[in-house]
Structure 1
Amino acid sequence: FSRASDLARYAVRMLNNGSRGSVQILQPDKWKLRTTAVDVPRGRRALGWDSRTGYSSNRGDLMTSAAFGHGGFTGTGIWIDPLADLFVIFLSNRVHPDGKGLVNPLIGRIGTIAAGARRAPPKIPTAQVLNGIDVLQRDGFAALQGRRVGLITNQTGLSRDGVSTVRLLHSAKGVQLKALFSPEHGLEGRLDIPKIGDQQDTTTGLKVFSLYGETRTPTRESLQDLDTLVFDIQDIGCRFYTYLSTMGNAMQAAADHNLKFVVLDRVNPVCGTAVDGPILEDGEQSFVGYHTIPVRHGMTAGELARMFSSEKNIKVDLQIIPVAGWQRSQWFDETGLTWTNPSPNMRNLNQALLYPGVGLLEMTNLSVGRGTDTPFEIIGAPWLKEQRFAEHLNAAGLPGIRFIPVRFTPLSAKFPNEVCGGVQLIITDRLIVDPLATGIQLMCSLQALHPTDWQTKNLNRLLSSVPVRDAVLAGRDRHEIQRLWQAELAKFMERRQQFLLYE
């Protein structure tokens, strides 16, 4: 029994081979003897320490083989991992009030998160990154002077200092903001329903025309008295995220009604260099697949608008207000910009990175974590055997990611209030994790372990590649499946090049 601060001092000494500064408290050979695990009848233990036994549920799954630890009856635990230069201390009173509390699994999950977080920190921004709205404001709204504007935006339409694009355009001299248009999830990004009606903005009094209701394209009525449509919404770099379809539909409407179309560009949050996944097959276009691009396109909204205009022959007066100070290799947390959830279930950068892989399975009978605190970081179903599934996935050796068996209960969406077996996806190195390989391996493991339980009728809805779907269902190897899209991906890379705006 002690305080966390005292235990931390002890753990630091254990990490330092039994020394504190110049004082050697334990001789190196004695320290090694105490902390090196050996085989015992029910696992592996060191002298006075657990390493891997039936009592190790409080051990972080991502800790190395050198980790050693100990748990206490009243709800305490300490684990020390010399190879990871990591220790985890947990102090609680599980026996209050009835002696039935259980904390070991919680200690283990905290250890897993701590171990998974030990990767290179993001680069500190060296220059101020400005999104399109910031550049427009910096330049005195020159591009919109004298224009009658309809603004397509949501809660992500914010300047660097947190002022909404709605407010900025409404108060800008020489700019007449006449109407607002909202995408899926509404103007405030809070709605997760199939259809959204028109409404009125309480701040400006302007009508908000929904582009996710009876129509998904601006109507003639909604475009009356406008000569310009402006688009300012944060995308997340994935083909089936619907904001790109909203932009494409609005571009076509602007062309049909002789309106100018202005994109206030924004950074690609998961960087603009990674491009992967099957190309959407021509003829499979839909609201979750607007154009023949890969699942992960590595482009910004402005760059895609240039591609849509050219390749879909949308004859619109298009202007891009570019991002300033951003390099394609930069992630969102390297820009100094404030994260705003682009949609109700897209709550952090890890989820945006995992989404292109995990999201592919959403149209099957699986929960992808909607209705939990960690959407797209967890996946499962009531029929799924979580331990076998995690073992199968981890055995595949995917880089930069680990899979932890879990049981969870969604409060909404699929399987509400039902206990689901599944896995938690832990990114251990985002620089090498491959979201598409992860998604394909999830499919391969499901097909191998649950070929009758997993219902794949709608698998191709977001995948949009019959050859890839058929290869998954035929039980082919992940690497073989990934090779199926490489030739078309190479062609896309050539197509993409002429539309890029940033180095």
Structure 2
Amino acid sequence: MLCGVDKAVDALSGMHLGDKRLALVTHAASLTKTFESSKSFLCRHLNITDLFAPEHGLGSFIADGKDVEDQRDEETGLVVHSLYSSGGKAVDPDVFQNLDGILFDIQDVGLRFYTYIATLKQLLELGKPVIVLDRPNPLGGSIVEGPILPPSLESFVGHGGLPVRYGLTIGELAFWMQHHYRLCGELGIVELSGYGRSSLWQQTGRPWTMTSPALSHVEAVFLYAGFCLFEGTNLSEGRGTSAPFELFGAPFIDPWKLASEVAKLGLTSVVFTPISFIPGQSKHQGRLCHGLYAHILDYHTLRPFSICLQVLSTIHRLYPDQLDFNAHFSKLAGFEPEELFADKLEYTLQRSEADAQTFMNEKRRFERYGN
């Protein structure tokens, strides 16, 4: 499989962009087929005059939600402009004034609340020519999950019209965004080669490179599609441990009791085992927490969003006075916490499935890769 960056030099020469002043939006997880950074490769072959970094910075090591400052890249000597602030402020169009085009080469994870796609939307809104160097969706392109986010809940961690797991590559998504949000800037793509949309990350033949500090394992990427919702609760999602989003818990949980109750859900694609841990940062820092560790049994049938809703509902049933939700939850989930409670859960699951099917039908016109 070849990513867009592997074909970019020839493709951009064909577009007569080989000698144009170009911006490159990238990060440390964007690698070529020979595992060279996109930044190093493209700066050697094209007239890249400015670098731009999303959340977590060019090196993908800055913690979630922390401001990313402008800096200078030691390797290339180029200024690295930040495209992220904790307040989610708009991109400054003046920074792009003397540039002929923007290359976007970011390894995404295929989820609505991952902020790299919010940065992509902001770039498309500038009206400058944008060319996406396409990369595979780690979760594949055949499955859609979660409710479509209503405009009333839009934020930098969620744009209206998208379900949680949208089943498009970053390049396909760019064209969906252009159509859905009625953006009129010039948009191009350098497509993948040898990629099938039903392929999961494990079928790409490439090792996983962390796209942000909490997604260091490919298992975490899949579970993050659901367990990101823990960020909207007082449960630790595992930040400050070696396995964020693979484990979760809180000081008030009895892990053996919770494991027994979750086992009654009859889940077949994942199994949970009791665990205790002490987060080194974030929620419950330095406190002993108890909870569950998720072990994926079948990636193809795994539906992490649905699983998370059922697990959260179980925790609420067991600990109604101790499980708390914050204002962030609805922005991530697309609905209010009350929709998880026992008497409403089935309807919420059905609505999520209906929305997912609606988007499945909608996205077909933007698909560029067969199975």
Q: 2:91 aligned to 209, 212, 218, which one?
A: 218
**1:134 maps to which residue?**
6
CA contact (8 A) 2:158 2:331 kept: no
CA distance in 2, matches of 1:217, 1:141: 31
**1:153 maps to which residue?**
26
Question: Structure 1 residues 131-140 or 375-384, which shifts more?
Answer: 131-140
**2:338 maps to which residue?**
470
CA distance in 1, matches of 2:99, 2:344: 54
Change (3 A) 1:203 1:189: same
**SS class of match (1:209):** strand
**SS class of match (2:52):** strand
Q: 1:204 aligned to 48, 71, 76, which one?
A: 76
**Structure 2: 5+ residue stretches without partners:** none
Count of residue pairs brought into register by the alignment = 366
Residue-by-residue CA offset, 1:433-475 (whole Å, 9 max, x unaligned):
2211211112111110011100123331310224xx33213x2
CA contact (8 A) 1:270 1:349 kept: no
Question: Structure 1 residues 487-496 or 433-442, which shifts more?
Answer: 487-496
**SS class of match (1:374):** coil
**SS class of match (1:441):** helix
After superposition, residues 279-318 of structure 1 pair within 5 angstroms as 279-318=148-187
CA distance in 2, matches of 1:352, 1:489: 19
Question: Is the counterpart of residue 179 in structure 1 residue 179 in structure 2?
Answer: no
Cα RMSD (Å): 1.6
| Bigger relative CO (Cα 8 Å, ≥ 6 apart) | 2
CA contact (8 A) 1:405 1:423 kept: yes
**1:326 maps to which residue?**
195
* TM-score calculated relative to the size of structure 2: 0.94
CA distance in 1, matches of 2:84, 2:217: 24
**SS class of match (2:172):** helix
Shift, 1:362, TM fit? 1.1
CA distance in 1, matches of 2:7, 2:116: 22
After superposition, residues 370-385 of structure 1 pair within 5 angstroms as 370-385=239-254
Percent identity between the two aligned chains: 33
**Structure 1: 5+ residue stretches without partners:** 1-128
Q: Which amino acid aligns with 1:336?
A: G
CA distance in 2, matches of 1:488, 1:241: 19
Question: Is the counterpart of residue 425 in structure 1 residue 294 in structure 2?
Answer: yes
Larger Rg: 1
Residue-by-residue CA offset, 1:295-337 (whole Å, 9 max, x unaligned):
1111111111001101101111000111110001111121112
Shift, 1:138, TM fit? 5.2
Change (3 A) 1:290 1:390: same
After superposition, residues 23-38 of structure 1 pair within 5 angstroms as none
CA distance in 2, matches of 1:234, 1:346: 12
CA contact (8 A) 1:281 1:464 kept: yes
Q: 2:330 aligned to 441, 460, 473, which one?
A: 460
Change (3 A) 1:490 1:331: closer
Change (3 A) 1:302 1:412: same
**2:43 maps to which residue?**
170
After superposition, residues 313-462 of structure 1 pair within 5 angstroms as 313-458=182-327, 459-462=329-332
Residue-by-residue CA offset, 1:5-61 (whole Å, 9 max, x unaligned):
xxxxxxxxxxxxxxxxxxxxxxxxxxxxxxxxxxxxxxxxxxxxxxxxxxxxxxxxx
Question: Is the counterpart of residue 495 in structure 1 residue 362 in structure 2?
Answer: yes
Question: Is the counterpart of residue 481 in structure 1 residue 352 in structure 2?
Answer: no
Shift, 1:283, TM fit? 2.5
CA contact (8 A) 1:151 1:231 kept: yes
CA contact (8 A) 1:216 1:246 kept: no
Q: Which amino acid aligns with 2:357?
A: A
Shift, 1:216, TM fit? 4.5
* TM-score calculated relative to the size of structure 1: 0.70
- Identify, as 1 or 2, the structure richer in strand: 1
Shift, 1:147, TM fit? 1.8
Residue-by-residue CA offset, 1:230-282 (whole Å, 9 max, x unaligned):
110001111101100011111112x1xxx211000000112111111111112
Q: Which amino acid aligns with 1:422?
A: G
Residue-by-residue CA offset, 1:104-159 (whole Å, 9 max, x unaligned):
xxxxxxxxxxxxxxxxxxxxxxxxx0111012145474333232111111102211
CA contact (8 A) 1:444 1:477 kept: no
Change (3 A) 1:140 1:194: closer
CA contact (8 A) 1:136 1:142 kept: no
Shift, 1:196, TM fit? 1.4
**SS class of match (2:60):** coil
**SS class of match (1:485):** helix
**SS class of match (1:180):** strand
